[in-house]
Amino acid sequence: MSRAVRIVTGYVPLPGHPRPRETYLDLGRRLLRIPVPKVVWTTAEIGAELAREQDGADAFPRWDGHFWIHDALEGCPHSVASQNPAKDTLGYHAIQHQKTQWLDRTSREFESDVLVWLDFGILHVPGVTEDLILDFVGKLRDDAIAIPGCWPRSDRILLDHPNWRFCGAVVVCPARLAPLLHSVCVDTFRGIVAFHQKVSWEVNTWAVAEQSGRLPIRQYHATTHDQRMLTAYEGPPS
């Protein structure tokens, strides 16, 4: 059965980030040229710039620039987990956690069967090409949330470094499950901050959320952060 698949992505420039804005925009433009419907969450300025270059097939919805984790952190003492102070800022963690809300909003505002989050700069990943992405999108199923990952499931998740149970660059999510995914991630994030008083990577939030048993979620093993985040996905039975 043919399923309507939509790529969801987003980009918010961060001052001082080691990868320059123009590099990200060049990578994103390549992603946007792939002939699959897309929703791009970004600033009004960048959205207008990119929309002028498109043929109208992609959507650049209005977003007020607000990150949901700031609401969750209000009144809560917290520190910020960081392995690279130039990159791992509160702003960076806010953007990474925003992925689930952007998937949620896309599911409510655009008709789709399956949503797939792809990082805006995913084409910098070793081995990832436009053709590989197109082949990957053609295999997607709507049976469960599926995320590539490198590590086995563990009951002990340390917050001071990324837990690679899941890779953050790719999330396959049936549109009907996107609101649940975001809701569980918000609850999980609040619980982590309340108990540990720490803001950690979004992949750590997802790993803890998996343990709750509230999500139909599965890992497919990608070994490392390369093209296997796409090629390791198993499509529907032939």
The tens digit of pLDDT for each residue in 108-131 reads 999 999 999 999 999 999 999 999
Averaged pLDDT for residues 9-26: 91
Q: What topology does CATH give the domain 5-231?
A: Spore Coat Polysaccharide Biosynthesis Protein SpsA; Chain A (3.90.550)
Domain positions in the chain: 5-231
Give yes or no for residue 237 having a pLDDT over 70: no
Q: What is the pTM of this model?
A: 0.95
Q: Are 216 and 172 in contact (CB under 8 A)?
A: no
Instruction: For residues 116 and 147, give the distance between their C-alpha atoms in angstroms, rounded to a whole number.
Output: 10
Averaged pLDDT for residues 211-237: 92
Candidates 36, 39, 47, 37; CA nearest to 12 is 47
Give yes or no for residue 31 having a pLDDT over 60: yes
Give yes or no for residue 80 having a pLDDT over 60: yes
